[in-house]
Chain A
Amino acid sequence: MSYSKYFFIAKIEILSAFAYYINILSSSVFITFLLFIFYNLWKAVYLASAVTSISGFTLVGLLWYLTLSESIWNSGSGRTAVIKISDDVKSGNIAYYLNKPYNFVVYHFSSTTGTAIIRSVITFAFAGTLIYFLVGPLKITLFEIPFVLLSVLLAIILAISMNFLIGVTAFWIEDISAFRWIQDKLIFVLGGMLIPLSFFPLFLQKIALVLPFSYVAYAPAYMFVNFSVSFFVETVLIQILWITLFVAGASLLYNLGAKRVSINGG
């Protein structure tokens, strides 16, 4: 089995992603704008609290945290792919894919990951420029960067795999949009997308750290701002664990669903 075709597929998706550049630009501009609002919000909070650090975050650190977490969010997490998967299942188009010489799940994975990475990079470029202009650079060493990038990549893949699991339930569930919505909100709040988990009351922090959502946003963003090798190792291992679980779950459900389709004829 040749895996090079998946790289090729990823490349094609990246190329077509450029065709949608206006959409990517618009969303990046929106995120940048959001960060401008966050800047005003947290500047006011820090000023009123008259401290330089809250729960381990300085204002600068917090804003760069948010820049990264929002950039991961704006990767799209393969949302369009999920919609397409559930549409294909609903319409019966899925039958065509069952005959194709590639694994359905892996195919979609490679294509969406490519797009997601591009989107995150562009968003970070825009938003980061604004934040740099407003509060200056983050104190980070070059050494840390590749590690953070790895964790960010894993975070994106994790978000995508969670979406895939939901998408595959389309074989059984009429309208998956409710699930997608719930998952988005969970990442929003319990994932530390909008505020770091460190700001939560303790009981909520404990719960959030047990769930996979915090490994989509909080963990890589925290690592970005407060790097430590031990945190890196722990985070990456847990990310890989969750990814494995979700991908396995998605593949299993897919095979079950595909069988159902071929037996029942769609």
Chain B
Amino acid sequence: MAKNETIIRVENLRKVFATKQKKSGLSGSMHSLLKPKTIDSVAVDNISFEVNRGEILGFLGPNGAGKSTTIKMLVGILFPTSGQADVLGYTPWKQRQKLAMKIGSVFGQKPQLWYHLPPIDTFNLMSKIYEMDEKEYKKRLNYLVDRFEIDYLNTPVRRLSLGQRMRAEVVASLLHKPEIIFLDEPTIGLDIIAKQKIRDLILELNKKENVTVFLTSHDMDDVEKLCNRIIVINHGKMVFNNTLSKLKSTYVTSKNVEVKFEKSPKKFTFSGARVLKRSSYDMTIHLDQKKRDIKDLVDYLTSNFEVLDINIADPTVEEIIAKIYKK
């Protein structure tokens, strides 16, 4: 397994849906019955990208941007209008079953666990679906159960909390040692601690087993804490494809600096920065990084005032993405 092996290769992938257009009213219904008019809507518009083994990719975009259409094509549920895709050496829509053995998925809204049964029963079923060797399965199960703290293996799923259920869902998708897992909104509805737990576990498995993770989430903390790469899709087109830090450095052109002073500052002059808020001992400064460096501002502050505390806040990934969406 070469470290920088490309395992997903997408080339000019394009998906056009023919949707029926219906005019309103009774005459419209008659019209559409006799002479149906279809309009082509482009869901995915010639996107190309590559994913290397071991990457944790954040696949972001507003609803209706073409995210799920793209994922469906990568998984083999949908075939494209044109273009190519290669996932682990397979063309997904042509070799779906073979590919299915090597990938796992967790869709936040569509559970895999049988509701009235304890997780162990679904796990056992999965081992049969993925044709796992009995010994291998037991070993793998013990490992995952231990790491994911599934101490409720024999409790019916309907009695579990959402956090417990999601952990078990992720375990179910990892049993067969997939090389890629597709996670769609895996932390939705969870409390902070539960979210953190799942993120840590995904990171750990990524490090240990080099599992490639394809994540879609509207939770920017997920993105922040997990992803090293980001692809942003909007209107079916790829508008960003690079690392998370590049995202920040490209789109982050300002910073908010919160300062706490020992003694109330008299005058503040620093070109390229303006004061957003101030009270006797606090100040929030907005710095335009295109004009001045953050280093210079910090130097200025510490040389001229008695500073107790400085907090430099990045705009959130959310704000950044929102900026990109607007384009």
Complex: A in contact with B (CB within 8 Å): no
Instruction: Give A residues with C-beta under 8 Å from B.
Output: none
Instruction: Give B residues with C-beta under 8 Å from A.
Output: none
